A and B are shown apart, each in its own frame.
Chain A
Amino acid sequence: MAARKTTAKPNVSPEELTQYYRDMLLIRRFEEKAGQLYGMGLIGGFCHLYIGQEAVVVGLEAAAEEGDKRITSYRDHGHMLACGMDPNGVMAELTGREGGYSKGKGGSMHMFSREKHFYGGHGIVGAQVPLGAGLAFADKYKGNGRVTFTYFGDGAANQGQVYETFNMAALWELPVVFVIENNQYAMGTAMKRSTSTPDIYHRGNAFGIPGEMVDGMDVLAVKAAGEKAVKHCRAGKGPYILEIKTYRYRGHSMSDPAKYRTREEVSKMREERDPIDHVREMLVQGGHASEEDLKAIDKEIKAVVNASAEFARESPEPALDELWTDIYAEAAD
């Protein structure tokens, strides 16, 4: 890990920093395990890993309050773990089992938790953006002070519905943070081949939405930006855009050979900008954790992840009559 500025005055305590380390490591190890289970044929279909982007969700969750909502695309495992959903339930959904969050009927791209205010998991690029604004609309209607984090990719940022939503969110002053996870690629298309201007967050200017670029490999920078955005929304000033520069180490999905970028580009990122190494270093250098402490955390996380994989293999497939349930909701009366 070469020269990198660590935030001058960390906006966190050593305990919090340790927690972020733990949360990011959980995502990384979980995703590695998911990749492994995919390789064994236990997970099918599309499976989009979040490795490399961990600081984005962990930093923003650190800026959220209980009751705030989040919604994202199909690259959703990290978001679910970061908002406190059970790794067992997530992994079992990946394997299509009864114990999964959607009883095996949603899969990697479609998971939800009302309890944790996680609204999916959406497979259509960009569709979650108006949905997220709609969640914020509901909160504003109810006047409950909640904020919705609406995540989408650099590729999704070229969808028309995103700008339809920017317009209405600004017009109606909806409490929504638009989080552009700019990992610089949409499948095999580098951003500069798809996007007319280099900075996506500037597009908010056209709608009067403030925004900023954030270093997404630095969890503290993300947290600080998140706090600012949330404050803006909670003050009733309408939406805010965070364009978070990040990087995915793995292919777009499990079946992507990633030939559109060099191996050097990836390894440079991994070696110089890894968000987990960054926090690890801060912990060690600041004297907040010893190598032993960190090893203990690693071990603990590994156990959680292994248990989730075990659960996901043991949980039975859904009963066949599940095919016919959850198509219509019953009237409550």
Chain B
Amino acid sequence: MPTEILMPALSPTMEEGTLAKWLVKEGDTVTAGDVIAEIETDKATMEFEAVDEGVMGKILVTEGTQNVAVNTPIAVLVEEGEEVPDLARDQALAAQPAEPAAQPAAAAPEPAAPAKVEAARPEPDWPDGTKTKKQTVREALRDAMAEEMRRDGDVFLMGEEVAEYQGAYKISQGLLDEFGSKRVIDTPITEHGFTGIGVGAAFGGLRPIVEFMTFNFAMQAMDQIINSAAKTLYMSGGQMGCPIVFRGPSGAAARVGAQHSQDYAAWYAHIPGLKVAMPYSASDAKGLLKSAIRDPNPVIFLENEILYGRSFDVPMLEDFTVPLGKARIWREGSDVTIVSFGIGMTYALEAAEKLAEEGIEAEVIDLRCLRPIDTATVIASVQKTNRCVTVEEGWPVASIGNYISATLMQQAFDWLDAPVINVTGKDVPMPYAANLERHALVTTPEVIEAAKQVCYR
């Protein structure tokens, strides 16, 4: 049976090309793999190999022909001794252009987050009457890991100085003693490598907790976090889940300069496939970390060095968890909504106290998670207060505040009585000098000022 040889596409973008040269002539025998022609694509001159064997029956497109559309028959291959078919067909008739792909229905510009959440109510995350104890964020994080490691033998902790040194910030205190060196593993200083090993272990069925001494150093591992951990479930059509937690401090500590002072909330919140939590209180640190460890997805868990030593009420419950993706209302108010997360909550709450003295009642919302992000709670609040200020330590361009503002504009425009103001860290690398650093960070007076501005006061 004669076989048509078609003009090949030889690059991802090629639609037509020049048949530069034939390297065989009619009557020649060809076998699979023989170079039969040279073809100029939009990028280069390529050799074109035969995929079938036979005899060149007829050359349909002569060499030197330009603008030959992909899929146009350029020659006919026949079997040994076979007649060349009568080629009445119009050679100029190029292959029909491929049908245009169906346009996808206009997709809602919604983030790929699990189902919508209901707006939060201003209640604590534990039942009435539950006993609480004062605990630091540091202790709460340690307890969360210990409880989950007791619960599931596949959970292990790896990172620099997590075992024998008990953690660079003493978060893993006591874990080596309780769980042994098989499950609490000191790594070399090799972020890219151990992050990849952690992700591979998660593909292999374990539930790693990878501690970054600080998230500044995770930039060396960014490729493994995003390209491997976040995307593989999708790229595998749902086969390769990656249950892993990346945790450690993010944001400015104090006087450690530009390379050690950076808030990564907006970076990771950008990535579909990741979940991102950033707790403020000890109870949230505990409850969210336990949920993160149980979650079947990669979770970025952003802590804060300054908050590690702060104490909060933590419920004395056997198994206390906080769901990922649900905001918490810390303070009810009717005049303005202040939205923050992580250490930004310090300024937000402080500002609310001061504003109350001046007769402005602020509602303060802690997002707690940045992906999925609980915009429902923010919108419900703004429908009441009609004004909103966001507070975060990160930089202003492409910030979490920008996203909240855009969401409010799209979904609560009619309720807004003033433009939303984003209070952020200054748009500069973090300076070292004490006075400059103070100015680079968010300050409580800036939050107060913004709140007054949206209230036209």
Contacts and interface: CB of A to CB of B under 8 A. Distances in A.
B44 interface: yes
Contacts of A103: 237-238
Contacts of B32: 32
A127 B9 contact: no
Interface in B47-77: 47, 49, 51, 70-71
B200 A134 contact: yes
Contacts of B205: 138, 142
Contact of A40 (B6, B47, B112, B197): B6
A160 B192 contact: yes
A255 B200 contact: no
A167 B188 contact: yes
Contacts of B241: 329
Nearest to B13: A255
B70 A41 contact: yes
Interface string A270-292: 10000000000000000000000
A2 interface: no
B10 A255 contact: yes
A251 B11 CA distance: 12
Given A112-B236, A119-B240, A130-B224, A139 B204 contact: yes
Contact of B201 (A46, A122, A138): A138
Contact of A134 (B8, B204, B234, B243): B204
Interface residues of A, number: 72
Contact of B112 (A39, A164, A320, A327): A327
A138 B200 contact: yes
B51 A32 contact: yes
Contact of B105 (A120, A124, A320): A320
A8 interface: no
Contact of A326 (B9, B114, B233): B233
A226 interface: no
State which size class the interface on B falls in. 35 or more
A304 interface: no
A141 B71 CA distance: 53
Nearest to B231: A110
A71 B71 CA distance: 35
A171 B195 CA distance: 16
Given A38-B8, A327-B112, A105 B196 contact: no
A133 B206 CA distance: 13
A35 interface: yes
Contacts of B11: 254-255
Interface in A97-111: 100-106, 110-111
Contacts of B223: 124, 127
Interface string B191-217: 011111111111111100000000000
A26 interface: no
Interface stretch (B260-268, B290-298, B327-335, B391-399): B290-298
Nearest to A251: B46
B195 to A, nearest CB: 7
Interface in B77-118: 98, 104-105, 107, 112-114
A325 B239 CA distance: 12
Contacts of B275: 328
Contacts of B6: 39-40
B43 interface: yes
Interface string B21-48: 0000000000011010000010111110
B71 A165 contact: no
A36 interface: yes
A167 B235 CA distance: 29
Interface in B286-310: 294-297
Given A110-B235, A139-B204, A141-B156, A41 B197 contact: no
9 contacts: A32-B33, A119-B200, A120-B232, A127-B223, A138-B205, A255-B10, A270-B33, A325-B238, A329-B243
Interface of B: 6, 8-12, 14, 32-33, 35, 41, 43-47, 49, 51, 70-71, 98, 104-105, 107, 112-114, 156, 182, 187-188, 190, 192-206, 223-224, 227-228, 232-241, 243, 272-273, 275, 294-297
Top 9 A-B pairs ranked by shortest CB distance?
A134-B200, A130-B196, A164-B193, A138-B204, A39-B8, A255-B11, A103-B237, A131-B200, A102-B237
